[in-house]
Amino acid sequence: MFQDALVELGSYIDRGGFVMPPLVAATLALWYGLGYRLATLRRGGRGPVRALVERGRRGALGRSRGLVAQAVARAVDLEAHGRQNLRPRLDEALADLEDDAARFAMLTKAIVTVAPLLGLLGTVAGMTETFDALGDMALFAQSGGIAGGISQALLTTQMGLAVAVPGLVVGRLLGRRQQRLLDEIEQVKDVVTAGFEGAPHATA
């Protein structure tokens, strides 16, 4: 069954013409990037940022791989080693978490933008093949003929949209989550540098 699926996939890619291999590669890269972001963009811990910082100061935060929880743990540890130049030290210590939150964001946006254009290129190539075949009155030919040209045009258009539309929707959802997490990391810095009392209000 698996071998039959591979044969069918190969036939599908072959019918789509020269644009299909880049589209397949783009699909794999897109969902790798989205999967990485989905696994990385986790908060860690519940409650407002202020409450997380308070728990961190009491040593009750626990171990979490979420970005905000990691930021709280690092910030509280730095605070315990002295408050002098604390904000620059926090910026430096939490920079890699902010980089992790943004990783693969540009890649996924680029693929979502380029995929429909690749599909359009395949459509143009397929229609060119179709018109050439019409001129020769060849329904089928070694290069594809009318049927092959129409098939290529339809498959590449479909593939381009199939890559771009889900990637656009998921990418935007993850982009909003990324921004919320980055905002909360900034709140962690504000709460720790200002002290618990009088620190700016934080949202959940």
Instruction: Look up the pTM and report it.
Output: 0.78
Helix (H) / strand (E) containing 195:
none
Phi and psi based region of residue 194 (left: phi greater than 0; alpha: psi -120 to 50; beta: remaining): alpha
**What pLDDT sits at residue 107?**
95
Distance of alpha carbon 170 from alpha carbon 180, whole angstroms: 16
Distance of alpha carbon 157 from alpha carbon 8, whole angstroms: 19
pLDDT digits (tens, 9 = 90+) for 59-110: 877 777 899 999 999 999 988 888 788 899 999 999 999 999 999 999 999 9
pLDDT digits (tens, 9 = 90+) for 114-139: 999 998 888 888 887 777 766 666 55
**What percent of the chain shows pLDDT beyond 70?**
83
Distance of alpha carbon 104 from alpha carbon 191, whole angstroms: 29
pLDDT digits (tens, 9 = 90+) for 146-192: 667 777 788 888 889 999 999 999 999 999 999 999 999 999 999 99
Please report, for the chain, the start and end positions of each structural domain, with discontinuous segments joined by +.
2-194
Q: Which two tokens stand for residue 22?
A: 């880049």
pLDDT band at 199 (very low <50, low <70, confident <90, very high): very low
Mean pLDDT of all residues in 8-25:
80
**What pLDDT sits at residue 85?**
86
- Give φ, ψ of 58 to 5 degrees: -85, -5
